[in-house]
Amino acid sequence: MSSQNKLVRLIARLDIKGENLIKGIHLEGLRVMGDPQVYARRYYEQGADELIYMDIVASLYGRSKLLDIVRRTAHDVFVPLTVGGGVRSIEDVSELLRAGADKVAINTAAVKRPELISEVSRRFGSQCMVLSIEAKRQNQDRWEIYTDCGREASGVDAVEWAKQAVELGAGEILVTSIDTEGTRKGFDTDLVKAVTSVVSVPVIASGGFGQQSHLTEVYAAGADAIAFADALHYNRYAMPELRNMAQELDIPVRAV
């Protein structure tokens, strides 16, 4: 039910640990890449439609350096900024928005207390409340939600959870496949399709981009936005190349 009459957004995703931009595979084996602000500014200048910052250890260890990073980035970057990791309360959301975030992404705290979705949506608007789903395939047509940055199995069905979260007020869903994340082997298009078929809000597909054909596959699965990390951080592709690829494939993206 996710509509595709709008432009598909090309998003740079930056995973943060402490003060550093990091990159892993299956959300593990993290490698330090550098100063996230430098990368964020580069992707903005290259024409990224949006940026996503995810603090990948905040839900384990409490609040982090993320507020400072967001404040600094907001001075240099003038596209929508989604920030997630360790967001547990209305106060956390409020702090991030004051620091310069446009949207917040919540995973662990929402699974533990689903009412938080409604609270954020009522207070700040549904467009601000992004449900972050990190899921692992259990069988051909079932995926399980993992919390604490892919460390803890929740027992929650990912597709049912997406549907419930939208009913509670989530205005967007970030879907990350732990199975494909960092592999360069393509998105879990079955997961993306399963989610987009049951929700009416935009869905961001994250995890697995490696080559041009993967754009066609994930767009056909219903993705409203595509997040890139590995491809950008390792300079395998620059944002303008990704945009050109999408245009060649007749995927409707913003002209820059």
Reported as a single tens digit per residue, the pLDDT across 222-235 is 999 999 999 999 99
- State the pTM of this model: 0.95
Residue 206: its H or E element: strand 203-206
| Predicted pLDDT of residue 1 | 53
Nearest CA-CA partner of 190 in 138, 251, 249, 151: 138
d(CA 226, CA 126): 20
Burial of 78-112, coded b for 16+ CB within 10 Å and e otherwise, reads ebbbbbbbbbbeeebbebbbebbbbbbbbbbbbbe
| Predicted pLDDT of residue 79 | 97
Report domain extents, the chain: 9-248
| Predicted pLDDT of residue 5 | 60
d(CA 81, CA 100): 8
| Predicted pLDDT of residue 56 | 82
Active site residues: 15, 134
DSSP string, 23-80: EEETTEEEEEEE-HHHHHHHHHHTT-SEEEEEESSHHHH---SHHHHHHHHHHH--S-
Straight-line distance from the first to the last Cα atom of the chain, in angstroms, rounded to the nearest whole number: 28
Backbone angles phi, psi at 43, to 5 degrees: -70, -35
| Predicted pLDDT of residue 23 | 87
Asked whether the CA dihedral 200, 59, 41, 28 is positive or negative, the reply is negative
- What is the dotted CATH code of the domain comprising 9-248? 3.20.20.70
| Predicted pLDDT of residue 81 | 98
Residue ranges of the chain with pLDDT lower than 50? 3
Reported as a single tens digit per residue, the pLDDT across 159-217 is 999 999 999 999 999 999 999 998 999 999 999 999 999 999 999 999 999 999 999 99
Single-letter code of the amino acid located at 223: A
